[in-house]
């Protein structure tokens, strides 16, 4: 499937306030999130490399022992097997890419 209309993807909510639309390429997983102010993702780690690109709003992102506020245009690079957490300071949107494929996020299937 060489073209995807992300507006047509099913919306899933793996955690309160994180409404995501998911798809996969051959080797990566993509999540388009609309996030509510105050929503958070607990500290966790996984074997995937993960890239967060903030489109709108502000997220407080902690990677290992570093915490930064990421606004529009900011990118956070999470290495594999590294603890990280995210808290939405405002409502907004972000795109998250995982490598390799990630078939579940927060207990929600992304296939």
* CA angle at 93 for the pair 91 and 94, rounded to the nearest 5°: 130
Look at phi and psi of residue 27 and say left if phi exceeds 0, alpha if psi is from -120 to 50, else beta: alpha
Listed by start position, the domains of the chain span 13-100
pTM, full prediction? 0.94
93 close to 58: Cβ distance less than 8 angstroms: no
Q: 71 vs 54, 80, 102, CA distance in Å? A: 6, 23, 25
Domain 13-100 has CATH 3.40.1160.10: no
In tens, the pLDDT along 46-98 reads 999 999 999 999 999 999 999 999 999 999 999 999 999 999 999 999 999 99
């Amino acid at each position: 499937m060489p073209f995807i209309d992300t507006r047509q993807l099913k919306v899933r909510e793996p955690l309160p306030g994180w409404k995501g639309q998911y798809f996969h390429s051959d080797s990566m997983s993509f999540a388009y999130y609309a996030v509510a102010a105050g929503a958070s993702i607990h500290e966790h780690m996984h074997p995937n490399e993960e890239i967060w690109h903030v489109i709108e709003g502000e997220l407080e992102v902690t990677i290992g022992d570093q915490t930064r506020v990421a606004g529009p245009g900011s990118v956070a690079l999470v290495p594999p097997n590294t603890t990280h957490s995210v808290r939405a300071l405002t409502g907004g949107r972000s795109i998250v890419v995982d490598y390799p494929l990630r078939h579940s996020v927060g207990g929600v299937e992304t296939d």
